[in-house]
Amino acid sequence: MSRPNAQSMKPATAAKKLDVYLPATPAEFQENAITRSELAALQADPPQWLKDLRKDGPHPKNLVAAKLSISIAGLARGGVTEALTTGQIAQLLEEMPEWLVAERESYQAVLREERRLKAQQEDRARDS
């Protein structure tokens, strides 16, 4: 295996940039460093495996959390430890278990508080 240089990245980094779950990618992708030009080519003209992963999953935790409108920590509190497919996410949204309802409410409260604090900081900056 060749050592990645400054112009290449580890497969895990490339998977993050592509918003895909690394263990679900082809073995060739997982085993080789990805150059910046290869990454750009994947983004510009995604192969079928990448299109399928983005559409059907399994999705990485950050995307699962975003699709469920909760935090990544909320996923853990809800007992979701594995990557989920688009179908599994849709099923959770349809069933709306109690933990998901509570986590969504909690996450929205956190976002409201963050917006309030940001507005407060902006007001102080204007007044200064």
Which pLDDT score is estimated for 3? 52
Which pLDDT score is estimated for 1? 42
Residue type, 71: S
Per the structure block, which two tokens stand in for 119?
A: 């507005």
Q: How far is CA 74 from CA 4, 25, 54, 79, 99, in A?
A: 35, 26, 22, 9, 9
Domain membership of residue 16 (yes or no) is: yes
Residues near 31 by beta carbon (within 8 Å), at least 6 away in sequence: 1, 11
DSSP H or E run through 28: helix 27-31
| Residues 104, 19: Cα–Cα separation, whole Å | 22
DSSP H or E run through 119: helix 98-127
When divided into structural domains, the chain yields a total of 1
Domain membership of residue 79 (yes or no) is: yes
Phi, psi dihedral angles at 48 (to 5 degrees): -60, -40
pLDDT digits (tens, 9 = 90+) for 12-69: 999 999 999 999 999 999 999 999 999 999 999 999 999 999 999 999 999 999 999 9
Domain membership of residue 122 (yes or no) is: yes
Question: Structural domain of residue 15, as residue ranges?
Answer: 8-127
pLDDT digits (tens, 9 = 90+) for 56-96: 999 999 999 999 999 999 999 999 999 999 999 999 999 99
Domain membership of residue 114 (yes or no) is: yes
Per the structure block, which two tokens stand in for 82?
A: 């594995």
Per the structure block, which two tokens stand in for 57?
A: 């999953």
Domain membership of residue 2 (yes or no) is: no
Would the pTM of this model clear 0.85, i.e. be above it? Answer: no
- Whether the per-residue pLDDT at 124 is higher than 60: the answer is yes
Domain membership of residue 3 (yes or no) is: no
